[in-house]
Amino acid sequence: MNEKKSDNAQWLLTFLHSAVTDKLCTKISCTTCGARKFRVRLAAETQEAFARYDRKEIQRKALQFDRGGDSDIVFMLTESFAQVSPPKSDQLRMRDAAMLLLFDLDRIFLHGGDQFLLDEMLGKSWAGDVLAAMRARYEIDEQRRRDQALRANPKFVQAERERKKAERNKLHLARVARKEERLRKWLDSNAKKEALLPTSTLIDEKSEGSY
């Protein structure tokens, strides 16, 4: 059984390796070629692998795809991907190809009604780790876009100006308060020093100052 699973994963590992070696476009949403060569070759390789696949191993889910019988192929491809474990020396160079495949699978699962079933099936595999990183990056980009849209809102801009003005005023009042406190302490200190001087000394100093 382990050998069968290894065979099921080996075809996909070989495909990803060849896609990188042949320098196929693996850019997500490429506006020049749409990564067509990659996708066409993957479709052909997947069909061949599916013909060899032990159908009893396919994990059937209650997911319904608009493409009907293609759901079995999708699950086979996903299960194969979960077993792919490229050498560490190849993981970085194969990452873009893996991300493109994950992007396409994610759209299929999302369209089927359960986007995060893909995460569940890939688990802690190499592909699962790449998918988790993609989702984290997507959230960061989305938050940045939301922040940019918010900053472009006139009401937000005005509110930010007022907030910054209030913050500057608060800092200014704090500086004034600290300055007044230092002055008060200085006056108190001098008053205490004068109180400790002998009365005659104070009279002499005042007398000298009168000349």
50-103: per-residue pLDDT in tens? 888 766 655 444 344 444 456 788 888 998 999 999 999 999 999 999 999 999
Closest by CA to 19, choosing from 103, 99, 101, 97, is 97
pLDDT of residue 30: 92
Distance of CA 99 to the CA centre of its chain: 15
| 187 Cβ contact partners less than 8 Å away, ≥ 6 residues apart | none
pLDDT of residue 68: 45
DSSP letter string, 20-76:
HHTT----TT-SSSTTHHHHHHHHHHHHHHHHHS-GGGS---S---TTTTHHHHHHH
Any idea which of 44-48, 137-141, 171-175, 186-190 has the lowest mean pLDDT? 186-190
Is-above-0.75 flag for pTM? no
Q: Is 158 helix (H, G, I), strand (E, B) or coil?
A: helix
| 80 Cβ contact partners less than 8 Å away, ≥ 6 residues apart | 8, 9, 11, 12, 49
pLDDT of residue 182: 87
Largest CA distance in the chain: 117
